[in-house]
Structure formats: structure tokens, C-alpha cells
Structure 1
């Protein structure tokens, strides 16, 4: 059992971290409300929008573990976690199902743009009555006389939608077939009948715009369907496997940076004539933060390794997603406490990490859903 990264993995991690710090560090992000196309193109130039896409389309051709390591470096070096999340959603929830389930023609048409950053993708699955219960989709896809699908209905929350060029979505094509009645589509934003709402106000990940997406008698040619008709449920589960395994790696990077800041603050800040790091109340809090980080990192790396090696991975990835997300929230609360009043102020950026961490227990399947998966895998 070898816990060391290979020379190539360490080199890629170090180079990605250095490049992200230089080109997407705090001073280069600007003050806009949402990420800009230039920031997106910068991330793309570093290979981050195509890490696990085929080299033939300009991608990195990486497996889950190597993708996770690069996203961890991205999260550690970039101070705009909203941008990091947006890239991850584009890559894992959208580009991966296009990579694995689009027709050769559609994949050839879209993959290069997805990798280069010329095309931004949004995932639209969630509905008002279909959050964790994705089997209750109300958006429908019926066949028209010309063989195209006619999509009708509304998705309630789609990250990247206001900026997207293509929307990966799922609709009920056979209401009587249950799980096997859902079909997936990669819908160009400019098709008639695609209506993207105004960006939502959110608690965190603010620079990643999210909006409702409506399909109003939207005719989608069969060529834009992903996989076979009725395969959408399995396609979505496949994309969520990659998202749970790799997106959360970005939060390992965020927690690494957060811990570095807490240690530096505890060394410098003095109260009662002593550095606060000398007080057990602070030093032990930091020790627990380190424990959560390293424990969740090992679980995530293991889940990615199992996925790469085609081993049983569903329970392991659910356990990793649960561990990282819960650690991200707990460590962020501890960071605010360590910084005290300064941590509560926006200027320090500490409270921002807390707000950005809260969604981790909701997206890609809530913590409650992950616990159900783990319990089921345990034999209950």
C-alpha cells in the first residue's frame, strides 16, 4: 500500500498550483459579480476545463484521481471558490456525460469547445419537486413528427446557466417507465424555446451564476440526445459519481489554504501577552482541523482510485463526499472562531470560506443521501 504521489502527479500538482496562484490569484480576480469570460479562458488555458477529456479533443486524458489532484491544486490556489465550482460543474456534470454518452458526431462537435473554454456548460437537473428525489422529474420530452424531441417544463437551479452555451439536462421521455423513462440531452443555449432566468442571489459561491431554465415547446434534434432513450437516469448517476469523487477535491485545496491561514494567524496574533497558538483552546482546534482534512483526503483519494480501477466504488465515493463536505463546514466554522471578530468581517475572507462551504452538504447529493448510500452499501 503506497500513499505517495508519483513524481508525475506531484509535478502536475505543483505546476497547477503555481500557475493558478499566478494567474487566478486574489489580485487577478477583479471585483465583478460573476466570473468573466477572460477568467474562464484563463482557467481553460491551464487545462482545468478539460482535465479528464480526451487528448484528441485537447483534453488532459486524466483519470479520476489525477483529475482530483489538479482540482485540489485549483481550489488551494484560487481565492474565488465560485469560479472553481463553476469549472468543476462544467467539467464533471456536463463534459463527462458528453464524453461518455454523446454520439461520435456530437462529441466531436462539442468536446473541443468544452476543453478550450470557448463553450461553457451548465447542468440542469434539479426541479422544484425533484431535488434529492430525482425520480420525480416534471420536465417532459415527447417525440415530434420529425423525430425531434419537444421539451417542456422548468428546471429550478442550474449552475452556470446565465453564462452557458450548452445545457445538459434530463427529461421524462416515458412516464410509465420510471427510472428507465428519463433521457439526457445536451441542449444548445440558442435553440428556440430555451429560456434562462435571471441569476439567483445565493449565500455563497457567488461568482458562479445560477438560474432557473425553462423549456417552452423546445425542439431538440435527436442528435443532441445523450446515450439511448431512457438511459438518462444512469447517465446522471454516472456524472454524479465523477462529481462527488472529483469536485470535492477542490475543497481539500480550500481547506489546505484555510489551515495555512489559521496557523499563520495563531502564530502572529497575541492576547494576554502570548501568541494565541500557545493556548490549548486554539492549538487543539487547529489539530482537529488538520485531522478532518487529512482523513477526508484519504477517503477521497481512495474513492477516486477505486473508480479508476473499475472496483466497487459507489459506497466509498459517498463516504468521501460526506467526509469532505462535513469537514469543509466544520473547519470553516473553526476558522471563523480562530480569527474572532476579524473572521466575521468580509475583508478577511474567512467568512467567505464558510459561506462557500455550506453548499457542499447539499449539491451532488445531500449529506443525508450520502448516508443512505453508505448504509445501503453496508447491507441495510
Structure 2
């Protein structure tokens, strides 16, 4: 589709040089000390600042360059939960504040966020709303001092470790989805705001998530992000970035998994020859390659359209479905290729399955994405 220029190639190569520096997280729970060591490496790499403008301490890179760099990061980082936290941090706070924030909000938050000194998260999901996000119950009511925020959120990635949250809440009962919701910047130490305990989950253990609670949480007027009623537009913009960045990291992870399977199929012998010589194995690996290249192509196609201001609704939904479902299938095939060894935690293969399953759910389930594609076809 297009060629990477010299600077883009050098950036990706510089990230690959960090391979082997990260430590693999626990397969059962978050190790705070280990997370901090890996987060410090991320800060030193500078990837958190990729899409942020230079005046705020960022590298000022466009979406395609950022994606290319993060694909490399996904391929070399053995801590997939950390990779997910990195993308969540970038898209949840840095991206919306840069696009919709006031000058003071940008100056106050962006330098710290892109340096990784403040960790970001966003909160939209609620326990009863699920995919119907805009049926949320959390409300922000205007008062003389600003807004009073009441309600709760769930499945907040980075929540237990975040310092800055973008919280979406209903601000009008009379206005529909397009104008009835707003986004707010909420600092962790805001009175009335409580961060819940870390929730246990199937995979991505080093990317912690939790519930959030707001009890008459007072937000001063300067905590409103963008304009009142702009929450839906802000979140839609953020979701474009979220899918592009999170899932291009998955492409990098799938590349790493494919490489492991190829190497294993060449060195593991059964019945007198390497298992890669058997069609049952070689076809699985061929399918992994097909899925990988299709995912990569669709994501960069969507990224190219986004960068050039095009409507990418259909392309983005296709890319999300293809990448997430390919990732799960590839993980299952990898376990089959490795056999009993693939089922053991020691080899690090089974974690790909545990980590990949969530990709069919977050950022819009596969079912929601198919609904979107169908509606764009006029169905």
C-alpha cells in the first residue's frame, strides 16, 4: 500500500533493540514492582510521546508512524499486559486532551502523560450497560461550583494504577446521544472519587482493571473536556485511535507468535522428521501467516484513511474483527502445534490464548462491529 521512509524504519528498528529488556509478568496476578520496572523501560524508550505534539514534550508523529512503532513494540515485548496498558494510556487521556483540551489542560497534563509520569485511563463502561454504552447511569449535574458527578464505572483498564481519568457522563436528560453526554478530566485525588480493588480476569494480568465510584464528586469547570454535550464525539474519536493502536500491537504479538511456531516446527521432530514437514502443521502456520498479513493490511488501510480524513467506519470495523478473531485462532493453532508443551505455562504459548480472547470483546465486540458493517451496507 505504501513504503515506510528512512526515518520511520529507523524508529521501528530503534524499538526492536529493546528486545530482551522487558521481564515477563506473572501468569496469575499483577506484580507491582515488576510492572514499575517495565513501565520505567517504556518511559526510557519514549514511545508514550509518539503522537503528542513537540511543544508538550512529544515526538509529533502521525498515526501511521505511531502504529508502525507500536507494531515493533508488540513484537519485542514479552509482557502483553504492559503493551495493552501502554496503548490504553496513550489513547485514553493523551489523545483526547490533545485534540479537545484547552491550552491550560494541554499544558497541565500532556507533558506528564507523554513522559509516563502520570498514567492515564478512561471510564465509559458500566455494569448494566455493556455494549449499550450510552445507556449509562453516571451523571454530571451542573452546579454553581462546576459539576457534581455521581455513579460508577467498571472494566476500567489501568484504573488501579492511573493518576488521570477521562470519565464520560450524562449531562442532559432531554438531549439524545449526540448532545447528552460530556467528558471530564478526573484526578485520582479528587474528593468523592474512589478507585475500587483490582478485578481478577482471564488474561492480560499485568494490565490491571477495576471499578470506579463517584459520590457527589465535585469537578470544577476547568475539568470539562471540550464542550458540554461533546462526549459522544470525543469518545468516537478516541475509539478510532484505540482500535488502530491496540490492535497493531496485537499484530506485532502475532508476528512474534508466528516466529515461535516456525522455529519450533523446524526443530521439533516426530516420526523421524521435523513436524513442519507434515501438512497438518504447515497449513496451520500458513493460515497464521495469511491471517497476520490480512490483519496488518486492514489496520494500516484504516490508519491511512484516518490520517487523510476519510470515513473509516467500515474499514475500522473490518480490521477489528479480522485482527481479534485471527489472534484467537492463531493462539489456538499455536497450542496445537506445540502440543503438550503449548499447554504448559512454562513455554509461554498458552498465555497468547488467554490474552487474545479479550480482543474480541474490548473496543466494541465482534458482534457490534458486524452490526456496524451491516448498517454501513444499508442493511
TM-score normalized by the length of structure 1: 0.96
Residue 348 (structure 2) aligns with: 349
Q: Is 1:291 paired with 2:290?
A: yes
Task: Rate the CA distance shift 1:54–1:140 in 2: closer, same or farther, 3 A.
Answer: same
Residue 156 (structure 2) aligns with: 158
Deviations 1:247-276 (A, max 9, x none): 100000000000000000000111111110
What is the distance in 2 between the residues matched to 1:102 and 1:204?
33
Tell me the SS of whatever aligns to 2:197.
coil
Residue 88 (structure 1) aligns with: 87
Structure 1 segment 221-300 matched on structure 2, within 5 A: 221-300=220-299
**1:200 touches 1:211 (CA, 8 Å); kept in 2?**
yes
Q: Is 1:142 paired with 2:137?
A: no
What is the distance in 1 between the residues matched to 2:184 and 2:130?
19
Please state how far the C-alpha of 1:26 moved relative to its aligned partner. Answer: 4.5
Structure 1 segment 157-236 matched on structure 2, within 5 A: 157-179=155-177, 180-236=179-235
What is the distance in 1 between the residues matched to 2:174 and 2:31?
44
Please state how far the C-alpha of 1:311 moved relative to its aligned partner. Answer: 1.5
> Stretches of 4+ moved more than 6 A in 1?
none
**1:246 touches 1:304 (CA, 8 Å); kept in 2?**
no
Residue 46 (structure 1) aligns with: 45
What is the distance in 2 between the residues matched to 1:47 and 1:374?
36
Deviations 1:72-98 (A, max 9, x none): 111110010000000100101221111
Tell me the SS of whatever aligns to 1:198.
strand
Task: Rate the CA distance shift 1:255–1:187 in 2: closer, same or farther, 3 A.
Answer: same
> Any stretches of 5+ residues in structure 1 without a counterpart?
none
Q: Is 1:301 paired with 2:300?
A: yes
Residue 21 (structure 2) aligns with: 23
What is the distance in 2 between the residues matched to 1:301 and 1:15?
21
Residue 59 (structure 1) aligns with: 58
Tell me the SS of whatever aligns to 1:86.
helix
Tell me the SS of whatever aligns to 1:49.
helix
Deviations 1:154-212 (A, max 9, x none): 10110111101111110011022121110001100000011011101110100011000
Tell me the SS of whatever aligns to 2:85.
helix
Moved more, 94-103 or 293-302: 94-103
> Any stretches of 5+ residues in structure 2 without a counterpart?
none
What is the distance in 1 between the residues matched to 2:86 and 2:134?
27
Q: Is 1:37 paired with 2:36?
A: yes
Task: Give aligned pairs, total.
Answer: 376
What is the distance in 1 between the residues matched to 2:30 and 2:238?
30
TM-score normalized by the length of structure 2: 0.96
What is the distance in 1 between the residues matched to 2:324 and 2:30?
27
What is the distance in 2 between the residues matched to 1:322 and 1:6?
29
What is the distance in 1 between the residues matched to 2:368 and 2:301?
20
Please state how far the C-alpha of 1:286 moved relative to its aligned partner. Answer: 0.3
What is the distance in 2 between the residues matched to 1:52 and 1:165?
20
**1:41 touches 1:116 (CA, 8 Å); kept in 2?**
no
Residue 108 (structure 1) aligns with: 107
**2:71 touches 2:251 (CA, 8 Å); kept in 1?**
yes
Tell me the SS of whatever aligns to 1:24.
coil
What is the distance in 2 between the residues matched to 1:32 and 1:104?
36
What is the distance in 1 between the residues matched to 2:176 and 2:93?
23
**2:30 touches 2:205 (CA, 8 Å); kept in 1?**
no
Please state how far the C-alpha of 1:376 moved relative to its aligned partner. Answer: 1.8
What is the distance in 1 between the residues matched to 2:53 and 2:114?
9
What is the distance in 1 between the residues matched to 2:360 and 2:155?
16
**1:93 touches 1:123 (CA, 8 Å); kept in 2?**
yes
What is the distance in 2 between the residues matched to 1:337 and 1:5?
35
Please state how far the C-alpha of 1:130 moved relative to its aligned partner. Answer: 2.0
Tell me the SS of whatever aligns to 2:165.
strand
